[in-house]
Amino acid sequence: MPNNSEENYIEIGGERFSLLDEVDNIPLADSFVKNNKLQGTTGHGEAKLYVGAQQKKDFDVFFGDFSGKGLFLKKDFEDYLGDAKFEYEQQEQKYRQDISGKWEEYHRKLQGFSEREEFSIGRAVPQDQTRFYIKSEDNAFDFFRSIILPIISYVSILKLKSEQGNIKFLFRPALSYNFNPYYHPAVVEKIEKAIEQDPELTEEKKMQLREARIGQGAYRQKLMEESSECIITRVNDERILIASHIKPWSVSDEREKIDHNNGLALTPTYDRLFDQGFISFEDNGTIILSPYISPLNLKKLNLAKGRKYNIPPSDTRRAYLNYHRENIFKK
């Protein structure tokens, strides 16, 4: 178990908690969700959550005697539903039934929640010594199972200790960023189709726009000429550098899509963190860290609050960074 230190803490509603341990990105299977089940699957959804294999982590130690309460934050539910809204409407995955009307229902129900919702948890299937499951009969856990979209959703569990010594298990749901409103396959397909059918665009311009989406072509070349190394790691092997859009390609106009000022050179891990809004930057290059990344993982990523990086300066790039901070960064 990680050693606790002064830096390993998070604040929730002004209350400070020590971060003792965590289980990251538990996949949420179709068998767990309550309502949004996929075609071709059987069963009606089990109330037990598979946390992981015992040989990989001692979950008996992690959860102890289950005297600690589970905890959901209303804001986390709001953020999850915000990210999932487009998938509820478009349904790239094949669900058993039309779920497009469910989003409004869940969003209305959420308004009656407290900012912090506690719930009891316990071990399910105690006789299974290899696979660890947990369960809860409380309303907050039932709501969690109701809104989750299977396969493309995850949950992390943070083990926290209050200043009074009380143990809490914070459950934080997340949607795969490939299905949020900026990167959803239906969004990309619609824009690419519009580009192909635009009679005013030359074939060369269409190619530039397509290549820019995947960080290639003239867009990448100009960015690499300006900044030939990752702004965080200083890695300068262009074979593993990604020309990451600051303002996502899907919401950029034609000029912004291929503007190298709308880009940062990043290695893959940090490109993914930036795309998902887990990190952002001030105009002067100071990194901003999302509370959705735990202090333990920030240490592993060698990221720290207040560090300043060399971002190629331009008024245009500053405008793109402002967009990222206001719209993409997870606050």
Instruction: Classify 22 as helix, strand or coil.
Output: strand
Average pLDDT over residues 163-186: 92
Q: Say which residues have a Cβ less than 8 Å from residue 202's Cβ, sequence separation at least 6.
A: none
CA distance 228 to 15: 43
Helix, strand, coil share (%) of the chain residues, nearest 5: 35, 25, 40
- Cα atoms found within 13 Å of the Cα of residue 100, Cβ hemisphere only: 5
Q: Which residue carries 């992690």 as its tokens?
A: 62
CA distance 259 to 262: 5
Return the minimum-mean-pLDDT range out of 39-53, 137-151, 305-319.
Answer: 39-53
Backbone angles phi, psi at 179, to 5 degrees: -120, 10
Per-residue model confidence (pLDDT) at position 6: 46
pTM of structure: 0.84
Q: Which residue carries 């333990």 as its tokens?
A: 296
Which tokens in the block code for residue 44?
């009606």
Nearest Cα to Cα of residue 20 among 165, 233, 213, 174: 165
Which tokens in the block code for residue 179?
């299905």
Average pLDDT, the chain: 91
Interval 83-121: pLDDT, tens: 999 999 999 999 999 999 999 999 999 999 999 999 999
CA distance 279 to 329: 7
User: Which helix (H) or strand (E) is 102 found in, with range?
Assistant: helix 102-110
Per-domain residue ranges of the chain:
9-179, 203-328
Per-residue model confidence (pLDDT) at position 45: 59
Q: What's 269-313 look like in SS3? A: HHHHHHHCCCEEECCCCEEEECCCCCHHHHHHCCCCCCCECCCCC
Per-residue model confidence (pLDDT) at position 125: 81
Q: Please, what's the largest Cα pairwise distance for the chain?
A: 67
Q: Say which residues have a Cβ less than 8 Å from residue 176's Cβ, sequence separation at least 6.
A: 152, 153, 154
Q: What percent of the chain has pLDDT over 70?
A: 96
Q: How many CB atoms lie within 10 A of CB 42?
A: 7
